[in-house]
Amino acid sequence: MLVTIAFSTLLFSIFSYPSMGQISDTLTNSQPNIILLSTSNISITDSATGLISVTGIVLNNSTENVMNIKFDVTLYDADNSTIRETSRFITGPFTVYEPGLVERFSFLMSVEDFDHYTAGAYAERVL
């Protein structure tokens, strides 16, 4: 599945890091069965395990039922070089989310120090 991601300019601080994040509600894609979703309350923090904890909320802000919601995050250094890209399914397989439903998520990832990030969510249209 090829998804081209373009990120908006909404910036906000990350809790344990002096870095900045960029989150998008305006992703673009080349596949008609992909629905772009709204994200909020994204935080990237140190966890007790020594890994990085990524948490947030995804809203099905579309007018269609969706499934297989995925969240992408890319971490960058100060020179804008990619440190790590992670893509995670944040819902169970084949669970259908009607318009307006919210899904909270949390996952761990391994990473070195980073300066800023980009992130976004999308799902498959239920046909």
pLDDT in tens, the chain (127 residues): 333 333 322 223 333 343 455 554 435 556 789 999 999 999 998 889 989 999 999 999 999 999 999 999 999 999 999 999 999 999 998 899 999 999 999 999 988 788 999 999 999 999 9
User: What is the chain's Cα-based Rg?
Assistant: 14
Exposure string over 30-42, b if 16+ CB within 10 A, otherwise e: eeeebbbbbbeeb
Q: Are 34 and 64 in contact (CB under 8 A)?
A: no
User: Taking the CA of residue 38 as centre, how many other CA atoms within 13 Å lie in the half-sphere pointing to its CB?
Assistant: 10
pLDDT of residue 24: 47
pLDDT of residue 112: 77
CA distances from 74 to 10, 58, 62, 114, 119 (A): 16, 17, 24, 10, 6
Q: Cβ atoms within 10 A of the Cβ of 96, count?
A: 13
pLDDT of residue 5: 31
- Amino acid (one-letter) located at 85: E
pLDDT of residue 14: 32
pLDDT of residue 94: 84
Rounded to the nearest 10°, the torsion over CA 94, 60, 29, 76 is: -100
Strand partners, 123: 35
pLDDT of residue 10: 28
pLDDT of residue 113: 84
Q: Which domains are seen in the chain, by residue range? A: 10-125 (2.60.40)
pTM, full prediction:
0.76
